[in-house]
Structure 1
Amino acid sequence: MGTAALGLLWAALLLLLSVSGLPTEEPTSGEAVASSSPGNCRRCCDSEDPTVLADAAHVSSASPSALPYVLPEVRPYINITILKGDKGDRGLLGSPGKLGREGPRGDRGPQGIKGAKGQAGSPGSPCQRRFSAFSVGRKTALHSSEGFQPLLFDTVFVNPDGHFDLAAGHFVAPLRGLYFFSLNVHSWNFKETYVHVVHNDKAAVILYAQPSDRSIMQSQSVMLALAPGDRVWARLFKRERENAVYSDDIDTYITFSGHLIKPEDD
């Protein structure tokens, strides 16, 4: 084979290699962009070695007498993405992270179905009745005699347990505790009104009105600590002047009321 034919063969081989784009090393994107010059097109897989480029250019333009030419070393391209090893063992559990922020409160869920009725509880212990109250009135007037005179009543408004003795005009305490009492009367024209609220046999408070040409309503109230069996009642007391309270058969001008406020254990 002649020298001219051998030179053409090497030129064809170099042209085939440049067209097929056999890679030597993967250039980075930066290198590919940096090595490109404006106005010239080149493949990213082309060699960037100036010596190789000069040799290739020399071969393409050399005369047949410059052959034979030694080809540059071509490095094989290896795709490392296909080289996958076996799955490794699971690592140790790491320490827990910090607790995150509390999230917003969610919407209220749908109402559930009604549950079954529970069993009845055991019966409670019997309790003592701890209640007492009364309210009575008088529809007739009363003039006092010498000394003390009990104020009796003829009308019952409230006396559910019979703690007020209407015949004697006394309230009898059924329980130990604190009681509240109130007495209301109407005075008589030009006559003195002098009435005691009595605890057992001792006057607790007094209701008083001086003689006047006009009759007026008078009231008195008191709170007493009573023991079972204690009595509370009202009485008129005559002194130098005539003592009286007014009422009539139509309206009730005189009332006496009381009730238990707070019972106390014996």
Structure 2
Amino acid sequence: MEQKLDRIVTLFTDAMKELRSEIREEKVAFSASLLASGEGHTGPMNPVPSPLIYKKVSSNYGNGYDSNTGIFTAPIKGVYFFRFYAHCQGGRKMAVSLYKNDQKQCSVYSEKNEHNDNASNGTVLTLEKGDQIYTKLWEDSWVFDDPAGYTSFSGFLLFSL
């Protein structure tokens, strides 16, 4: 009887450890702004070689965001929310798109307004583990950032699947 009880306790303990591990994995959220310090613009580029790389990371739970590449890689399968915000100075074209595995999902655009302009967009996406999300400038467009974080990118897991 005692041996059976020890086995039940061991199974219960193992199940609790696995559950705790899964709960920890489900904490996924990041937020970053474009420049690590100072102020300036990014762009224009033609062609645009890579994603925008947001260097000033304020949070990165789950370590899904890579500040060396600008790419968020889903650590677990689930439904996620992403938001990006872009700023441009007057007289400049600003256009940025959000991509999932190289497929455009949504965009923001401002055509050479007289004054500074801002735009934001967001979307809910179902991701498989390993799917990649990033933002990218359009050709011949600009974004501006300073310590206030005018140009930023963030996302978080709504629930796992």
Q: Same fold (TM over 0.5)?
A: yes
**Structure 2: where are the runs of 5+ without partners?**
1-8
**How far does the alpha carbon of each residue in 1:83-116 deviate from its partner, in whole angstroms, 9 at most, with x for none?**
xxxxxxxxxxxxxxxxxxxxxxxxxxxxxxxxxx
- Give the alignment's Cα RMSD to 1 decimal: 1.6
For residue 144 of structure 1, report the CA deviation from its aligned partner. Answer: 2.4
Local SS of the residue matching 1:217: strand
For residue 158 of structure 1, report the CA deviation from its aligned partner. Answer: 0.4
Describe how 1:204-219 pairs up with structure 2 within 5 A. Answer: 204-219=105-120
- Higher relative strand content: 2
Q: Is 1:245 aligned with 2:146?
A: no
For residue 168 of structure 1, report the CA deviation from its aligned partner. Answer: 0.7
For residue 252 of structure 1, report the CA deviation from its aligned partner. Answer: 1.7
| Number of residues of Structure 1 aligned to a counterpart in Structure 2 | 140
Question: AA paired with 2:144?
Answer: Y
Distance 2:135 2:44 in 1: 12
Question: TM-score scaled to structure 1, two decimals?
Answer: 0.50
Distance 1:132 1:194 in 2: 27
1:193 to 81, 91, 94: 94
Describe how 1:144-223 pairs up with structure 2 within 5 A. Answer: 144-149=44-49, 150-223=51-124
Question: AA paired with 2:151?
Answer: I
Distance 1:221 1:160 in 2: 19
Asked if the contact 2:28/2:156 (under 8 Å) is kept, the reply is yes
Local SS of the residue matching 2:107: strand
**Larger RCO: 1 or 2 (CA < 8 Å, sep 6+):** 2
Q: Is 1:229 aligned with 2:130?
A: yes
Distance 1:164 1:193 in 2: 24
Question: AA paired with 2:60?
Answer: N
Distance 1:178 1:251 in 2: 29
Percent identical pairs in the alignment equals: 24
Higher Rg of the two aligned structures: 1
Describe how 1:1-266 pairs up with structure 2 within 5 A. Answer: 123=13, 124-125=15-16, 126-127=18-19, 128=22, 129-139=25-35, 140-149=40-49, 150-238=51-139, 242-248=140-146, 250-264=147-161
Question: TM-score scaled to structure 2, two decimals?
Answer: 0.80
**How far does the alpha carbon of each residue in 1:5-31 deviate from its partner, in whole angstroms, 9 at most, with x for none?**
xxxxxxxxxxxxxxxxxxxxxxxxxxx
